[in-house]
Amino acid sequence: MEEDGDKAGLITAIDEGLDYGAKVGLIPEVHWALCKAAEYLGIKSPFMKVMDFILLQIQNRVSGQTISPKDRQDFLDKLLPLEKNGKATRLDTINACGSNIGAGSDTTAISLTATIAYLSMHPDVLAKLREELDDAVNRGAASDPITFKESQKLPYLRAVIQETLRMHPAVGAPLTRIIGIGGANLAGRYFPAGTEVGVNPWVIHNNKEIFGPDASKFRPERWLVQDAEKRAVMDRNFLTFGAGSRTCIGKNISLLEMYKVIPQIVKKFDFQVVADSKHGEGYMWKTLFFAKQTLYCIVKERACV
């Protein structure tokens, strides 16, 4: 944002790399042949561009050519001391940085954009959320900026975020698994070993038996239901971040970002989606992800702030 451009070409490289991975992941047999062809033609993998950037940043920090900001710590400030103490390897540091750049970029951005889109389409929800936030500020229950702990105590904010993630999970692929030796019974049906199975969160999140007859509607109040059993069923089938042992490792930091950014935007700004936006007309398939179609907003500081 500071340079108003794609610094080092990372955004383009990530898009290209994820696009390749999404397709080859469905037909892994062609990966070896494509890699050999790319090597022969001198074509560099998009992810190697990201890797080169990561290695350069680590080297610059280790050599002292760059230093961390004085007022905060970044991930390298946390990881490099672990290396020095033998609690992490350089490969661990590289992988952690790669996950931050590759996996933690589009996903949270899509979720934040979707939240703004749904709030703009549902002014009644926006008004109710803003009322809750303003009340928290007046009671001294919300700092500026709001803390994660404070935001967790706001039930309607939690419901809005949960409903956005249900309606618009960033990942739009089933992320299949392979049935192990002995097979498995799933949903009353037997699947032999070697079978690929998966469920797309977009499908299960629109299941009316789980989320109610209005499952296709954006209604945060569904998450405020007092029926503990019904809420447990919804929670169990909430797959925005996956489930089980393969739950997204970035889930907590993504939620942290949403619970801190959304309240600040809603408290401090009025936003209006402009006519050229297509947020109500459909979605854009972007590699593994589903992004709202072009969303342009006019943002103004709230007069009462």
The residue type of 179 is: I
Omega before residue 145 within 30° of 0, cis: yes
Whole-angstrom distance, CA of residue 80 vs CA of residue 193: 43
Q: Tell whether residue 35 is among the known ligand binding residues.
A: no
Instruction: Identify which of 91, 11, 85 has the alpha carbon closest to the alpha carbon of residue 58.
Output: 91
Give the single-character DSSP code of 289: E
For the purposes of burial, counting CB atoms within 10 Å of the CB of 274, is it exposed (0-12), middle (13-18) or buried (19 or more)? Answer: exposed
Whole-angstrom distance, CA of residue 264 vs CA of residue 76: 27
Whole-angstrom distance, CA of residue 163 vs CA of residue 157: 10
What SS3 string covers 18-35? HHHHHHHCCCHHHHHHHH
Binding positions for heme are: 248
Binding positions are: 248
